[in-house]
Chains A and B, each alone.
Chain A
Amino acid sequence: MLAFDRLRAGYSGIEKLHDLSFELSEGKLTAIIGPNGCGKSTLLKCAAKLMEPMGGAILLDGNPLSEYDERERARRVSYMPQSRLVPDTSVRHLVSHGRYPYMGWGRGLNREDREIIDEALRRTGLASYAQRGVRELSGGERQRAYLAMMLAQQAKLMLLDEPTTYLDLSNQFALMKLLRELCAEGRGVAVVMHDLALALESADEVLLMRDGALAAAGSPEAVYKSGAIEAVFNVRIRRAADGKYVFYANE
Chain B
Amino acid sequence: MRRNRAIFCVLLLTVFLGFLASLCLGASGLSPRDVLGALLDADRESPASRIFWYVRLPRALAAVLAGAALSTAGMLLQSVLRNPLAAPSVIGINSGAGLCALICMAFFPSFPRLIPFAAFLGACLAAFSVYLLARLTGASRATIVLSGVAVNAIFGAVMDAIVTLIPDAITGRSAFSIGGFANTTLAQLGFAAPLCALALLTALLFGRELGVMELGDDVAHGLGLKVECWRAIFLVAAAMLAGCAVSFAGLLSFVGLIAPHLARLLCRREEHLRMPIAALTGAALCLVCDLLARLLFAPYELPVGVVLSLLGAPFFLYLLLIRRRQSRHDAT
Q: Which residues of A contact B (CB under 8 A)?
A: 45, 48-50, 70-75, 78-81, 83-90, 93-94, 97-98, 100-101, 103, 107, 131, 133, 135, 139, 142-143, 146, 153, 166
Contacts and interface: CB of A to CB of B under 8 A. Distances in A.
Contacts of B332: 83-84, 86, 139, 142-143, 166
A179 to B, nearest CB: 17
A103 B25 CA distance: 48
Interface string B77-109: 000001000000000000000000000000000
Contact of A74 (B208, B209, B224, B268): B224
B219 A81 contact: yes
Contacts of B44: none
A89 B271 CA distance: 6
Given A79-B218, A85-B214, A86-B329, A100 B269 contact: no
A45 B217 CA distance: 12
14 contacts: A79-B219, A84-B216, A84-B219, A84-B331, A85-B216, A85-B330, A86-B329, A86-B332, A89-B271, A93-B270, A97-B211, A97-B215, A98-B223, A142-B332
Contact of A70 (B208, B211, B226, B268): B226
A85 B224 contact: no
Nearest to A49: B221
A88 to B, nearest CB: 6
B212 interface: yes
A48 B82 contact: no
B173 interface: no
B202 to A, nearest CB: 13
Query: In this complex, which of B208, B211, B212, B269 has the most chain A Cβ atoms within 10 angstroms of its Cβ?
Result: B269
A87 B208 contact: no
Contacts of B212: 97, 100
A194 B225 CA distance: 29
Given A81-B218, A81-B219, A90-B269, A71 B224 contact: yes
A143 B206 CA distance: 26
A74 B221 CA distance: 8
A74 B224 CA distance: 5
B47 interface: no
B141 interface: no
B224 A81 contact: no
A90 B216 contact: no
Contact of B222 (A74, A135, A139): A74
Given A100-B208, A103-B208, A135-B329, A88 B268 contact: yes
Contacts of B209: 107
A85 B219 contact: yes
B24 to A, nearest CB: 38
A88 B215 CA distance: 10
A89 B269 contact: yes
A153 B330 contact: no
Contacts of A84: 215-216, 219, 331-332
Interface of B: 82, 205-209, 211-212, 214-216, 218-219, 221-226, 264, 268-272, 329-332
Contacts of A139: 332
Given A48-B221, A48-B222, A93 B216 contact: no
A133 B3 CA distance: 15
Contact of A75 (B216, B224, B330, B331): B224
A70 B225 contact: yes
Nearest to B267: A88
A171 B180 CA distance: 57
Contacts of A45: 218
A93 B271 CA distance: 8
Nearest to B229: A70
A139 B331 CA distance: 9
Nearest to A68: B224
Contacts of A71: 224
Contacts of A80: 219, 222
Contacts of B208: 97, 100, 103, 107
A97 B208 CA distance: 8
A234 B54 CA distance: 82
Given A50-B221, A135-B329, 15 more contacts: A49-B221, A70-B225, A83-B332, A84-B331, A85-B82, A85-B219, A88-B264, A89-B269, A93-B270, A97-B215, A100-B208, A101-B224, A107-B208, A133-B269, A153-B223
A101 to B, nearest CB: 4
A79 B211 contact: no
A10 to B, nearest CB: 17
A73 B224 contact: yes
B223 A101 contact: yes
Contacts of A50: 218, 221-222
A94 to B, nearest CB: 8
Nearest to B218: A81
B219 A93 contact: no
A70 B269 contact: no
A87 B223 contact: no
Contacts of B225: 70, 100
B100 to A, nearest CB: 33
B223 A74 contact: yes
Contacts of A101: 223-224
Nearest to A48: B222
